[in-house]
Amino acid sequence: MNAEIQKLGNSGQSVYRRRHVKTDGRDVYLYGYSPPDREPVTEELLAAANSAELRWHPLRKEWSIYAAARQNRTYKPSSTDDPLAPSRPGLPPTEIPFSDFDLAVFENRFPSLMSGAKARPSAPDDPATIAPADGRCEVIVYTPKSTGSLATLTQERRELLVHAWIDRYSALFALGNKFVLPFENRGDEVGVTLHHPHGQIYGFSFVPAVQQNAADAFKDGFDLEAKIKSWRKDYEIESAGGLSAFAPPFARFPYEVWLAPVKLRRGPWEFSKEEIAGFATLLGNVTRRYDTYFGRPCPYMLSLHAAPQGAGNSFHFTAQFYPLLRAPGKVKYLASVEQATNIFTVDVLPEQVAAELKKI
């Protein structure tokens, strides 16, 4: 077997990973249930950005990321031009230099966070606390097909996605990242016009305040397992394989839905085989419920909230869907109040959301 290919040890399932380094130095990984042993095709040499910095907001007590090279990134590419497709003979090379794959991960060409990031040597007048934007930005391509969604992927493919996330958590923590955020932006309203089913993964060299707050709350005794059980009647939409899909009673987005293992797991890397299957099932079903309820592919943000490094054993994993619709045909806008205070105004009660989505 090709030396670049490794069998992963997740839950007794045979999952293979192949590593390939692109000519511009970026990593590509292929994942599959059988060894991805095709030969790579010829690549285009692309310049990768290597400068970005963090600045500290002294009043909000949060970091911001400055990545000026991203200003030139692809903006609303034409839909005939799919950089996430396999590189097919006779067509220009895409980001993935293989003629086929099941699931692929590659380092973002326009990253906000990067390993060995350099802050500019001098910022005018020592304006703020500045640090290099160390970390990692990856793109994760769910399928070689240019269309589809979490709802239309096969269950087998969604499970492969969970296996790949588990491997990326492990790889990005091993690189020294303190918090790893797999996420998916979906739909024009979220700023995405590349409809090839894909997500992204950010590795942060620090723990964002939002995640630190959550870690502190769990350490202080917030018991999500007991809550999920007590919310079953009024907030749960469905459950599968030990995971629950529910509208959290304190949702910030209308139609916000969380997926969580009922039992405390710090991240998907602690899931049993049944929980991996249950998570994959619910990712598909919740997306399908949204699309049915809103009568169109629902624009949403999906983020996976696993324990940051150092959070101890009490952090309970959740995956959070934030749809950008507040009713069929009505977009949810985040405006001054949300941006100035972080206080969200919600038009619909979570218990109503649960009842409506449950009916579908």
Interface of this chain with its own copies, residues 109 to 138, rule: CB under 8 A: 112, 123-125, 127-128
Q: Binders of its own copies among 140-179, rule CB under 8 A?
A: 179
> Would you call 163 a catalytic residue per the annotation?
no
Q: Give least dist CB 94 to its own copies, A.
A: 23
Pairing status of strand 236-240 against strand 318-323: unpaired
Chosen residue from 23, 74, 155, 213 binding its own copies by CB under 8 A = 213
For the four alpha carbons of 163, 164, 168 and 169, in that order, the dihedral sign comes to negative
Cα torsion for 157, 229, 270, 290, to the nearest 10°? 30
Q: Should residue 50 be labelled a site residue for its own copies when binding is judged by CB under 8 A?
A: no
Does 209 engage in binding with its own copies (CB under 8 A)?
Answer: yes
Among 208, 239, 288, 356, binds its own copies (CB under 8 A): 208
Note whether 48 and 115 are within 8 A (CB). Answer: no
Binding mask 334-353 for its own copies (x = CB under 8 A): xxxx-xxxxxxxxxxxxxx-
Among 1, 175, 331, 360, binds its own copies (CB under 8 A): 331
Rule CB under 8 A: say whether 333 interacts with its own copies: yes
Residues 215-274 interacting with its own copies (rule: CB under 8 A): 217-218, 222, 230-231, 233-235, 249-252
Check residue 71 for interaction with its own copies (CB under 8 A). yes
Closer CB to its own copies, residue 106 or residue 315?
Answer: 315
Give the whole-angstrom CA distance, residue 87 versus residue 95. 8
Per CB under 8 A, the list member of 28, 30, 67, 353 interacting with its own copies is 67
The residue assigned the tokens 């990253």 is: 111
d(CA 86, CA 342): 41
Identity of the residue, 37 or 188, whose beta carbon is nearer to its own copies in the bound complex: 188
- The window from 11-19, 21-29, 148-156, 199-207 that contacts its own copies (CB under 8 A) reads 199-207
Quick check: helix, strand or coil at residue 92? coil
The size of the interface with its own copies (CB under 8 A), counted in residues, is 81
Q: According to CB under 8 A, which one of 24, 37, 44, 62 is a site residue for its own copies?
A: 62
Please say which residue, 63 or 98, places its beta carbon nearer to its own copies.
Answer: 63
Q: Give the whole-angstrom CA distance, residue 56 versus residue 45.
A: 35
75 lines the binding site for its own copies (CB under 8 A): yes
Nearer to its own copies, 5 or 69 (CB): 69
The single-letter DSSP state of residue 96 is B
Provide CB contacts within 8 A for 268, sequence distance 6+. 162, 165, 166, 169, 276, 279, 304, 306, 317
Torsion of CA 233, 238, 240, 244, to 10 degrees: -60
Side-chain-side CA neighbours of residue 36 (13 Å)? 27
What is the spatial distance between Cα 51 and Cα 131, in angstroms, rounded to a whole number?
A: 11
Report if residue 330 touches its own copies, rule: CB under 8 A.
Answer: yes
Q: Catalytic amino acids? A: 198
